[in-house]
Amino acid sequence: MTRSETPSPLPFRLPAGGLIDRSTEIRFSFDGRSYAGHPGDTLASALLANGVRLVGRSFKYHRPRGLLSAGPEEPNGLVELRAGARREPNTRATVAELYDGLEATSQNRWPSLRFDLMSLNQLAAPILSAGFYYKTFMWPAALWEKLYEPMIRRAAGLGRAAEAPDPDRYEKATAHCDVLVVGGGPAGLAAALAAARTGARVILADEDFRLGGRLLAEAQTIDGRPALEWAALAEAELEAAPEVRIFRRTTVFGAYDHGAYGAVERVNDHVATPPAYEPRQRLWRFVAERCVLAAGAIERPLVFPGNDRPGVMLAGAVRTYAHRYGVAAGREAVVFSTGDDALRTARELAAGGVTVAAWVDARREPPDALREAVQELGAPFYPDGAITAVHGRTSIQAVDIRTPLFQTTLECDLVAMSGGWSPTLHLTSHLGGRPVWDEALGAYRPGAPPPGMSVAGAAAGGMTLRECLATGGRLGLEAARAAGFEGTDAPPPVAWPESAAAATLWRGPTGKGKAFVDFQNDVTDADLELAEREGYRSVEHAKRYTTLGMATDQGKTSGVNAVGILAGLRGQGMAETGTTTFRPPYTPVSFGAMGGHHRGKEFRPTRRTAAHAWAAEQGASFVESGVWLRAEWFTRPGETDWMQSCAREVATVRGAVGICDVSTLGKIDIQGPDAAALLDRLYTGTFSTLPVGRARYGLMLREDGFVFDDGTTARLGAEHYLMTTTTANAGKVMQHIEFALQWLWPELDAQAVSVTEQWAQFAVAGPRSRELLARVVAEDVSNEAVPFMAALPVTLPGGVRGRLFRISFSGELAYEIGAPSSYGEALARALMEAGRDLGVAPYGLEALNVMRIEKGHVAGGELNGQTTARDLGLQKMVSTKKDFIGRVMAQRPALVAPDRPALVGWKSADPSVRVSAGAHFLDVGAAASMENDLGYVTAAAWSAHAGGWIGLGLMKHGPERIGETVRAWDAVRGRDTPVTLCAPCFYDPQGERLRG
Partner 1 sequence: MAEIALSPPLSAFAALARHGRHGRAEGPAGVVVEELRGLALATVIARKGRAADLAAACRASFGVEPASTPRRTAKDGLAVVWSGPGQWLAVAEKGHPLTAGGADGLADALRGALAGLASVTDQSDARGALRLSGPRVRDALAKGLALDLHPRAFRPGDAASTWCALIDVQLWQVDAAPTYDLLVARGFAGSFWHWLEASAAEFGLEVR
Partner 2 sequence: MRITCPHCGERGNEEFAYLGDATVRRPDDAGAARPGAPEFERWMDYVYLRDNPAGRHRELWQHVHGCRAWLVVTRDISTHAIFSVEDARAAALARPSLVARDAAS
How do 386-391 and 398-402 pair as beta strands?
A: antiparallel
Interface pick for partner 1 out of 751, 879, 916, 965 (rule CB under 8 A)? 751
Positions in 446-505 near partner 2 (CB under 8 A): 451
Positive/negative CA dihedral, 94, 96, 97, 101: negative
Closest to 321 measured CA to CA, from 27, 91, 21, 49: 49
Output b/e per residue, 208-244; b: 16+ Cβ within 10 A.
bebbbbbbbbbbbbbeeeebbebbebbbeebeebeeb
Q: Which is nearer to partner 2, 310 or 433 (CB)?
A: 433
Would you count residue 10 as binding partner 1 (CB under 8 A)?
Answer: no
Would you count residue 743 as binding partner 2 (CB under 8 A)?
Answer: yes
Would you count residue 137 as binding partner 2 (CB under 8 A)?
Answer: no
Q: Where does 740-810 have alpha helices with state H?
A: 769-776
Interface pick for partner 1 out of 246, 346, 834, 941 (rule CB under 8 A)? 834
Would you count residue 934 as binding partner 1 (CB under 8 A)?
Answer: no
Closest to 480 measured CA to CA, from 293, 289, 295: 289
Please list, in sequence order, all residues whose beta carbon lies within 8 angstroms of the beta carbon of residue 898, skipping any fewer than 6 positions away: 957
Question: Residues 726, 861: contact at Cβ < 8 Å?
Answer: no
Would you count residue 607 as binding partner 1 (CB under 8 A)?
Answer: yes
Would you count residue 605 as binding partner 2 (CB under 8 A)?
Answer: no
**Secondary structure of 682-712 as H, E, C letters:** HECCCCCCCCCCEEEEEEEECCCCCEEEEEE
Interface pick for partner 1 out of 482, 594, 643, 755 (rule CB under 8 A)? 755
What minimum distance in Å lies between the beta carbon of 668 and partner 2?
13
Question: What is the torsion angle, in degrees rounded to the nearest 10, for the CA atoms of residue 863, residue 864, residue 869 and residue 872?
Answer: -70
Count other Cβ atoms within 10 Å, centred on residue 375: 12
Binding site partner of 749, from partner 2, partner 1, none, Cβ cut-off 5-8 A by kind: partner 1
What minimum distance in Å lies between the beta carbon of 738 and partner 2?
6
Interface pick for partner 1 out of 568, 588, 619, 672 (rule CB under 8 A)? 672
Positions in 166-185 near partner 1 (CB under 8 A): 169, 171-176
Torsions phi, psi for 79 (to 5 deg): -135, 165
Q: Give the count of residues interacting with partner 2 (CB under 8 A).
A: 29
What minimum distance in Å lies between the beta carbon of 798 and partner 2?
35
What minimum distance in Å lies between the beta carbon of 670 and partner 1?
9
Interface pick for partner 2 out of 2, 375, 735, 875 (rule CB under 8 A)? 735
Would you count residue 778 as binding partner 1 (CB under 8 A)?
Answer: no
Would you count residue 826 as binding partner 1 (CB under 8 A)?
Answer: yes
Please list, in sequence order, all residues whose beta carbon lies within 8 angstroms of the beta carbon of residue 199, skipping any fewer than 6 positions away: 243, 485
Would you count residue 822 as binding partner 1 (CB under 8 A)?
Answer: yes
Interface pick for partner 2 out of 368, 576, 641, 747 (rule CB under 8 A)? 747
Would you count residue 628 as binding partner 1 (CB under 8 A)?
Answer: yes
* Preceding omega of 585 cis (within 30 degrees of 0): yes
Question: Residues 817, 779: contact at Cβ < 8 Å?
Answer: no
Q: Which is nearer to partner 1, 613 or 909 (CB)?
A: 613
Please list, in sequence order, all residues whose beta carbon lies within 8 angstroms of the beta carbon of residue 41, skipping any fewer than 6 positions away: 20, 49, 97, 98, 325
What minimum distance in Å lies between the beta carbon of 257 and partner 2?
4
Binding site partner of 771, from partner 1, partner 2, none, Cβ cut-off 5-8 A by kind: none
* Preceding omega of 820 cis (within 30 degrees of 0): no
What minimum distance in Å lies between the beta carbon of 893 and partner 2?
6
How do 523-524 and 791-796 pair as beta strands?
A: unpaired
Closest to 433 measured CA to CA, from 577, 263, 257: 257
Q: Give the count of residues interacting with partner 1 (CB under 8 A).
A: 63
- Cα 361–Cα 214–Cα 551 angle in degrees, nearest 5: 75
Would you count residue 285 as binding partner 2 (CB under 8 A)?
Answer: yes
Closest to 104 measured CA to CA, from 25, 38, 44: 44
What minimum distance in Å lies between the beta carbon of 703 and partner 2?
6
Stretch that binds partner 1, among 71-79, 555-563, 592-600, 890-898 (CB under 8 A): 592-600
Q: Which is nearer to partner 1, 538 or 742 (CB)?
A: 742
CA distance 165 to 224: 53
What minimum distance in Å lies between the beta carbon of 762 and partner 1?
13
Positions in 432-451 near partner 2 (CB under 8 A): 432, 451
Stretch that binds partner 2, among 209-217, 304-312, 845-853, 887-895 (CB under 8 A): 887-895
Question: Residues 12, 33: contact at Cβ < 8 Å?
Answer: no
Size of the chain in residues? 996
What minimum distance in Å lies between the beta carbon of 316 and partner 2?
36
Instruction: Give the chain's radius of gyration (CA, Å).
Output: 37
Through-space distance between the first and last CA atoms of the chain, rounded to whole angstroms: 83
Q: Which is nearer to partner 1, 164 or 276 (CB)?
A: 276
* Residue 731, helix vs strand vs coil: helix
Positions in 691-720 near partner 2 (CB under 8 A): 703-704
Binding site partner of 432, from partner 2, partner 1, none, Cβ cut-off 5-8 A by kind: partner 2
Please list, in sequence order, all residues whose beta carbon lies within 8 angstroms of the beta carbon of residue 405, skipping any fewer than 6 positions away: none
> Which whole-number Å values give the CA distances from 650 to 208, 849, 885, in the listed order?
65, 10, 37
Q: Which is nearer to partner 2, 438 or 704 (CB)?
A: 704
Binding site partner of 606, from partner 1, partner 2, none, Cβ cut-off 5-8 A by kind: partner 1
Q: How far is CA 372 from the centre of its chain?
A: 54
Would you count residue 460 as binding partner 1 (CB under 8 A)?
Answer: no
Please list, in sequence order, all residues whose beta carbon lies within 8 angstroms of the beta carbon of residue 219, skipping any fewer than 6 positions away: 226, 323, 344, 347, 348
CA distance 96 to 87: 13
Would you count residue 799 as binding partner 1 (CB under 8 A)?
Answer: yes
Would you count residue 597 as binding partner 2 (CB under 8 A)?
Answer: no
Please list, in sequence order, all residues whose beta carbon lies within 8 angstroms of the beta carbon of residue 925, skipping any fewer than 6 positions away: none
* Residue 166, helix vs strand vs coil: coil
Would you count residue 758 as binding partner 1 (CB under 8 A)?
Answer: yes
Q: Which is nearer to partner 2, 179 or 941 (CB)?
A: 179
Q: Which is nearer to partner 1, 215 or 834 (CB)?
A: 834
Q: Which is nearer to partner 2, 174 or 822 (CB)?
A: 174
What minimum distance in Å lies between the beta carbon of 201 and partner 2?
15
Would you count residue 888 as binding partner 2 (CB under 8 A)?
Answer: yes
CA distance 390 to 63: 14
Count other Cβ atoms within 10 Å, centred on residue 271: 15
Stretch that binds partner 2, among 106-114, 688-696, 802-810, 879-887 (CB under 8 A): 879-887
Would you count residue 820 as binding partner 1 (CB under 8 A)?
Answer: yes
What minimum distance in Å lies between the beta carbon of 616 and partner 1?
11
Q: Which is nearer to partner 2, 485 or 706 (CB)?
A: 706
Would you count residue 270 as binding partner 1 (CB under 8 A)?
Answer: no
Closest to 396 measured CA to CA, from 300, 318, 507, 503: 318
Q: Which is nearer to partner 1, 114 or 836 (CB)?
A: 836
Q: Binding mask 486-515 vs partner 1 (x if CB under 8 A, - otherwise)? A: ------------------------------
**Contact residues for partner 2, defined by CB under 8 A:** 256-260, 285, 287, 431-432, 451, 703-704, 735, 738-739, 741-744, 746-747, 883-884, 887-889, 891-893
Which residues are at the interface with partner 1 (CB under 8 A)? 169, 171-176, 201, 276-279, 285, 287, 596-598, 602, 604-610, 613, 628, 669, 671-673, 747-749, 751, 753, 755-759, 775-776, 796-801, 819-827, 829-830, 833-834, 837
